[in-house]
Structure 1
Amino acid sequence: MPTEFATREIGAAAKAAAVAEPRVTFKTDRSLGAQAYRFSRVSDGTVVVTSGDASGAMYGGLDIAEALRLGTLKELVSDHRLHTPHVLDRGIKFNLPLDWRTPTYSDRTTASQSNIPEMWSMDFWHDFIDEMARDRYNLLSLWSEHPFPSMVKVPEFPDVALDDVWQGKTDANGAYTDHAVVKKMTMDQKIAFWREVMEYAHDRGIAVYIFTWNVFTHGATGKYNITDAMSNATTVAYTRDSVRELIKTYPLLDGMGITSGENMPGATDDAKEDWVWATYGEGARNALRQEPHRKFHIIHRFHQTSLSQIMQRWKDFSGPVDFSYKYSVAHMYSIANPPMIQEALDVLPPGKKMWLEVRNDDIYSFRFGDPDYLRDYVDNMPPAEVSGGYMMGADGYCLGREFLDRDPGPGPHELVIQKQWYSFMLMGRLSYDPTIPDTHFQEVLAARFPGVSAFGLYRALQSASQTMPLITRFFWGDIDIKWFPESSSKRPADKNYYTVLDFAEGESMPGANVLNIRQWRTNVLEKRPMTKTTPLQIADALEEESRATLQSVAALRMQTPGANAVEFRKTLVDCESLAWLAHYYAEKIHAASDLGLYDLTSDASQQASAIRHLDSALDAWKHYATVRDGQYVPALYGRAGYVNITAMTAKVAQDLTIARGWRPGSIRATVPGQTTEPGVKP
């Protein structure tokens, strides 16, 4: 039960803080609403948590546990205000690498393949789900291209069910060419495993959804003549029956997310929705006929399909059908008020909700966190009347255990959600309550790293966290294969480094009110007023944040924490890495701006200035590579490709060659490939 978890957390916190465990009782008042709670005290000193439901009681108990660690219990329980969720459903998007044979999206990568055994470890899921609850997340969405062979038995297609768990093996070049059996399991054992995961999640107040892309038939292809062709009647029947069995097999599965358009080459919107309804729609209806009172939620992604077709096909479905949309496309850390959602909200039917897919394909390696940015991000989300909530996660990285660290320490690798605990905590806690002050997070840092300047560490993390939003506002690639800011590249990173010419020709982010270099240079040369942020202002901001971060890190390195010293050291390395990356981008923008002017004026002094800035950019990149790669190994990512920062130094140096050989008139007026993903179709 959720309150049992909270009670254990209170006991553990009291023991760790060496204080008496307070008497706590839980009362229910349904009128308070879902997830709501308040505190009071009775004459004998007992702390009373009055809540609207079990989740609210758990959150109140977790607040008490945190207050014990921070030494702020008296202040907490003397505040009798009602705590209510700002965003009702706060989710994690978890791309689930079940098996070599049933991959998730882009999962033949270092992180995904390393994590396949972990997906079948109950210890992993207990730790992960506990962390979710502590951070106030209450929805776990598991994403897989085709999970059915690894999760269900289908009576009509019995040979599709896969026993055991396979992991990819690599050759000397890092290419996945073979497999290894990493766990022996029958399908019955797999079913029991996932039932336990879902039960554990529900005991922490967390709903579980499974999302798929279509049409994929991994693990089933070739059996019973199943293929990934939409026109294959056997594939339709097999998918329909698999959906039915998934819903029947897992009574605690709360819903499914579905996608029209992936791997449906050349199909019309009519054909796409006909297929999705004939498989997912009919499969779900067949399952739910046997459970007429079960509420099963469908979330249909706004992705390569049209609203009218979705509404027509799904109008008679018995349960709720809502939609989802890539809120910041792939870049959560860009601007706090991304405008792309508006086109979807403008056509949203009355009574429907739009779920936000909050994609963080900006930062895979580093610890980071900026409460001010995330508070603004949450505050700018659409209101509850039209928004179902959010699911935050990446497509190019697996949020399992961390396999990048050169020195992971003894025992199992730490969870990504534990390594990046600060950023996950900030998003979860602030989306529940965006009024939490910055001072609270400084107290959390002080408790985790006693004996060091909590404010200094807070500022180092906050300054370092400006790197990705600032550069992505200026240089926009909407989806993750177009822009991976950790390596200044697109996919594949080892072949597609963005040069200084690319920066001079680049587009800024829609809605960011940032001038690209072509717009800026026109204003400069024609002496027009600058009504938006200029490239040089972005560069100056990056330089200022870099300087502030390095100053904070230098001061913090003179201090020794009384606990978690290894984590503290690695956190400073992450901050320093981001600082050098910010300095590199600042110098590169200055150089691209100089070349933008030189391209029209032929003023040799502008070319010379660009070369000086690129010399500094190369020096900054070398520092970045040394610091970052001293802590992290090169890795193959799902969307960015193979990333080796040190090896990319040679490409960075080529920017100098480009600048020295620059011929005026090199910048194109328009650049192919800078369009965004297809928009919403009514």
Structure 2
Amino acid sequence: MKHLAVFLYAVASFAQSADLQYDPASPQAAFAATEIRRAFAARGQSLVENGGGAQPIRLVLTATAAKANAAADSLGVARLKDPSPQSYAIRRVQKAGVTTVAVLAADGPGAMYGGLDLAEAVRLGTLGSLANTDHSPYIEKRGIKFNVPLDARTPSYSDNSDAAQNNIAEMWSIEFWHEFIDEMARHRYNVLSLWSLHPFPSLVKVPEFPDVALNDVMRTKVPMDDTFSASGSDMVRPVTLTKLETLRTMTIDQKIAFWREVMQYAADRGVEVYWFTWNIFTFGAEGKYGITSQQDNPKTIDYFRASVRELILTYPLLAGIGITAGEHMQNRKDEFASEKWLWRTYGLGIMDAKKLQPARSVRLIHRYHQTVQSEILDAFQSYPDTFELSFKYAIAHMYSIPNPPFIQAALPHISSQHRTWLTVRDDDVYSFRWGNPEFARAFIRNMPGKDKVTGFYMGPDGYIWGREFMSTEPESPRQLVISKRWYSFMLWGRLSYDPELPDSLFLKTLAARFPEAPAEKLSTAWSAASMVFPQITRFFWGDIDLRWFPEACLSHPKGAKGFYTVANFMDGETMPGSGALDILEWRKKLAAGEAMNGTTPLQIADALAANAQTALRLLAELRAMPQQSKELRLTLGDMEAMAHLGNYYAAKIRGAADLALFDQSGKAAQKESAIVFLQQALDHWKRYATAYTVQYRQPLLYNRVGWVDIPGLTGKVEQDISIARLWAPGTLSDAARKRSADNPFRQ
């Protein structure tokens, strides 16, 4: 009855008109006002903007400390407690029959976030129950990592993939960026990091090297394949330049104007833009003016230094630059050593720009990847502005465990003067709509504190978060990935601003989005299906993206092992810090009668199967609901596919465990049990392939694992049964195994 009373009160409140007061000179407040306007319109209610305040409900947005304090004093409410950037307070007061809900903020982003809270309350019908609250960001910088496929001549790290090739034109569509950045703001992201091997020819004009600047936007007509180097060193091949098509006709001046507009739009949504590079790549400039990718080429050093200078001067709203001492640098110890080279190019290039613009501040972020911290700090000790580091927090797999251990070695060496960013890589889920609030909240809460961490940027290397091009039922134009996976982006963005947000908010959001489905049931099914990825990846660990793609039980066929067989599962390793025992550890303890000081393979299998069972049971009930929207139908389809995948992995682990016991004991019953489980795994895989291909095209090319063809892999899955039938006892060794492992920190 209590919940019903609140609901009826909210409905009664909405029967009245409202007045919205804000400063239209603040673009962030103006965006929030637009969202509030849309929310009222969707409910068929009227909204007067910056009127006389005669309406029974008045909404107020302030975007400066002075106006926030003045509004608080005028209303007789408490002032904003924390005037730091992005912070805001909501104050509610009722006087003379008028209910005022005020957002008190000291800056535009704070006003925007508070205004978005109001818009959300209007949509969810909870405006009448908003209480006095104060809000500050839990994580200061909350970002997206976006590998940008600019052009066939200036590719990113992911360009040998279907997603990249299909998205080149979108990177030059202002409509795309408007929608993308609006979605970022709605979910409280405030950093857009754009990653490229060598973007300068597509972004700037360099007076000393005028012919390097590229007009037009080109894509190769030469089909991509899985033979490209994992380092990106051959991302532009001579043959790919022999057949180019022009996607957009643009001069370099028009390109500059375009990216200035993108950065302005981002700033108007409280989003900072950064460009990140790998080194040394010279695609688009190679061969001009003597420029090569050789580390000891003085012409190349001069060119990079001038290009960095022009990048800063050309884009006043560029917040900073991120740099990598790889993937194409030599481990030299002379005057051309990697860190010395980076200082002479990026460091001095920024310094040159600052000589011309002394008031300009440029944040420089140096990745730990393929280098040594002491050498970084020594080379950049005289950098005058904010200088920070960047760490691959969960290597390539954010969907693993909520507390990745890899940063522990680095934490004692990270100072408050040179904090780090966390690269939160999502090379786990490319196809599906993921959604589990509990996992996301735990992951965020386990991140190191503000004394060590500035923020994070989240995204894949093996996929492009542009428009999706895999759906068998596409929208027109095709949906943005950030829009398709809105719930996942909402969870990670909103919880990283405030991890104390209750699950009730997400339930109400689901109820509003899918009124035809019971929200609690939908949330439970979604959360259960989504746990397939963390559970399998903590058990079967391949640290970098080319070593493990859980959607397909796959690694790169040339750079790793291709499809992972039951033999690989017997010999596989678990994620460091997960507390999970691999099969050989478990077998050894079982034989010795030792205590299992960790999660066993069979417990992992049980968890996978339990979550799959929960999801499939609830899906049957949800699908029985009449009049499902297309979005709900596709969302349920994703859950079904994830559940079948979970059942596949559960059966495969059980089969691998029994086969490992047979390898040790020679007992035929254990071998037969393994075969039965692997036959079950085959059945689950077929169900998975069917569910997957109902909604998604196959095969698809990804740059990190090559071709993925889930129905085509059925033969590989079936071969596991033959492997088990032919297995001979004593094949496996309990001896310690040497593993290839990425090293994200070197002191």
Q: Would you say same fold, with TM above 0.5? A: yes
Query: Aligned match of 1:50 in 104, 107, 114?
Result: 104
Q: Name the structure 2 match of 1:124.
A: 176
Q: 1:602-617 residue pairs with structure 2 within 5 A?
A: 602-617=666-681
Counterpart Cα distance in 2 of 1:646 and 1:146 = 37
Is the counterpart of residue 400 in structure 1 residue 469 in structure 2? Answer: no
Q: 1:407-418 residue pairs with structure 2 within 5 A?
A: 407-409=473-475, 411-418=476-483
Where 2:658 maps in the other structure, the secondary structure is helix
Counterpart Cα distance in 2 of 1:530 and 1:672 = 20
Counterpart Cα distance in 1 of 2:375 and 2:416 = 16
Q: Name the structure 2 match of 1:112.
A: 164
Q: Name the structure 1 match of 2:126.
A: 72
Amino acid at match of 2:100: T
Query: Aligned match of 2:42 in 4, 16, 22?
Result: 16
Q: CA deviation at 1:312?
A: 1.1
Counterpart Cα distance in 1 of 2:46 and 2:600 = 57
Q: CA deviation at 1:671?
A: 8.2
Q: 1:459-470 residue pairs with structure 2 within 5 A?
A: 459-470=524-535
Q: Name the structure 1 match of 2:352.
A: 286
Q: Is the 8 A contact 2:415 2:451 kept in 1?
A: no
1:22-41 deviation line (CA, Å, top 9, x unaligned): 53222333752211111123
Amino acid at match of 2:92: R
Counterpart Cα distance in 2 of 1:134 and 1:102 = 31
Q: Name the structure 2 match of 1:310.
A: 376
* 1:670–1:136 CA distance, 2 compared to 1 (3 A): farther
Where 1:111 maps in the other structure, the secondary structure is helix
Query: Aligned match of 1:661 in 713, 722, 726?
Result: 726
Q: Name the structure 1 match of 2:65.
A: 29
* 1:495–1:533 CA distance, 2 compared to 1 (3 A): closer
Q: Name the structure 1 match of 2:233.
A: none
Q: CA deviation at 1:559?
A: 1.1
Amino acid at match of 1:26: L
Amino acid at match of 1:644: D
Q: Name the structure 2 match of 1:447.
A: 512
Counterpart Cα distance in 2 of 1:170 and 1:71 = 53
1:135-175 deviation line (CA, Å, top 9, x unaligned): 00000000001000000000111111000001232449899
Counterpart Cα distance in 1 of 2:605 and 2:452 = 37
Is the counterpart of residue 253 in structure 1 residue 318 in structure 2? Answer: yes
Q: Is the 8 A contact 1:452 1:561 kept in 2?
A: no
Q: 1:485-564 residue pairs with structure 2 within 5 A?
A: 485-492=550-557, 496-560=562-626
With 268-277 and 665-674 compared, the bigger mean Cα shift is at: 665-674
Counterpart Cα distance in 2 of 1:467 and 1:170 = 37
Where 2:247 maps in the other structure, the secondary structure is strand
Where 1:23 maps in the other structure, the secondary structure is strand
With 39-48 and 213-222 compared, the bigger mean Cα shift is at: 39-48
With 613-622 and 342-351 compared, the bigger mean Cα shift is at: 342-351
Q: CA deviation at 1:292?
A: 1.5
1:318-362 deviation line (CA, Å, top 9, x unaligned): 111100000000000000000101111122245221110000000
Q: Name the structure 1 match of 2:403.
A: 337
Counterpart Cα distance in 1 of 2:339 and 2:524 = 49
* 1:80–1:173 CA distance, 2 compared to 1 (3 A): closer
Counterpart Cα distance in 2 of 1:356 and 1:542 = 28
Which has more radius of gyration? 2
Amino acid at match of 2:546: I
Query: Aligned match of 2:117 in 36, 58, 63?
Result: 63
Counterpart Cα distance in 1 of 2:674 and 2:315 = 61
Is the counterpart of residue 166 in structure 1 residue 218 in structure 2? Answer: yes
Counterpart Cα distance in 1 of 2:497 and 2:642 = 28
Is the counterpart of residue 88 in structure 1 residue 150 in structure 2? Answer: no
Is the counterpart of residue 628 in structure 1 residue 692 in structure 2? Answer: yes
Q: Name the structure 2 match of 1:244.
A: 309
Q: Name the structure 2 match of 1:153.
A: 205
Q: Is the 8 A contact 1:501 1:667 kept in 2?
A: no
Task: Give the CA RMSD over aligned residues.
Answer: 1.7
Query: Aligned match of 2:431 in 358, 365, 372?
Result: 365
Is the counterpart of residue 298 in structure 1 residue 364 in structure 2? Answer: yes
Identical pairs, percent: 51
Counterpart Cα distance in 1 of 2:442 and 2:502 = 13
Counterpart Cα distance in 2 of 1:510 and 1:479 = 13
1:273-300 deviation line (CA, Å, top 9, x unaligned): 0110111011111011112222210000
Q: Is the 8 A contact 1:103 1:146 kept in 2?
A: yes
Where 1:384 maps in the other structure, the secondary structure is coil
Q: Is the 8 A contact 1:477 1:674 kept in 2?
A: no
Counterpart Cα distance in 1 of 2:361 and 2:619 = 51
Q: Is the 8 A contact 1:217 1:227 kept in 2?
A: yes
* 1:543–1:349 CA distance, 2 compared to 1 (3 A): same
* 1:314–1:108 CA distance, 2 compared to 1 (3 A): same
Counterpart Cα distance in 2 of 1:667 and 1:174 = 31
With 479-488 and 101-110 compared, the bigger mean Cα shift is at: 101-110
Q: Name the structure 2 match of 1:3.
A: 29
What TM-score, normalized by structure 2, do the two folds share? Answer: 0.89
Counterpart Cα distance in 1 of 2:193 and 2:598 = 38
Counterpart Cα distance in 2 of 1:561 and 1:642 = 37
Q: CA deviation at 1:108?
A: 1.6
Q: Name the structure 2 match of 1:211.
A: 276
1:474-509 deviation line (CA, Å, top 9, x unaligned): 100000000000000101399710000000000000
1:576-612 deviation line (CA, Å, top 9, x unaligned): 0000000000000001100111111101110000000
Counterpart Cα distance in 1 of 2:518 and 2:483 = 22
Amino acid at match of 1:25: V
Q: 1:134-149 residue pairs with structure 2 within 5 A?
A: 134-149=186-201
Where 2:89 maps in the other structure, the secondary structure is strand
Counterpart Cα distance in 1 of 2:744 and 2:169 = 38
Q: 1:265-276 residue pairs with structure 2 within 5 A?
A: 265-268=330-333, 271-276=337-342
Q: CA deviation at 1:48?
A: 1.2
Q: CA deviation at 1:674?
A: 2.8
Q: CA deviation at 1:224?
A: 1.3
* 1:265–1:172 CA distance, 2 compared to 1 (3 A): closer
Counterpart Cα distance in 2 of 1:46 and 1:292 = 45
Q: Name the structure 2 match of 1:189.
A: 254
* 1:324–1:207 CA distance, 2 compared to 1 (3 A): same
Query: Aligned match of 2:386 in 320, 328, 331?
Result: 320
Q: Is the 8 A contact 1:595 1:659 kept in 2?
A: yes
5+ long unaligned stretches in structure 2: 1-26, 48-56, 67-81, 228-238
- Between the two proteins, the alignment pairs up a number of residues equal to 677
Amino acid at match of 2:203: M
* 1:7–1:81 CA distance, 2 compared to 1 (3 A): same
Counterpart Cα distance in 1 of 2:714 and 2:605 = 21
Q: Name the structure 2 match of 1:582.
A: 646
1:252-290 deviation line (CA, Å, top 9, x unaligned): 000000001320134349701011011101111101111
Where 2:661 maps in the other structure, the secondary structure is helix
1:230-258 deviation line (CA, Å, top 9, x unaligned): 01111111111100000000000000000
With 553-562 and 355-364 compared, the bigger mean Cα shift is at: 553-562
1:30-63 deviation line (CA, Å, top 9, x unaligned): 7522111111234232321101211110001001
Q: Is the 8 A contact 1:108 1:168 kept in 2?
A: no
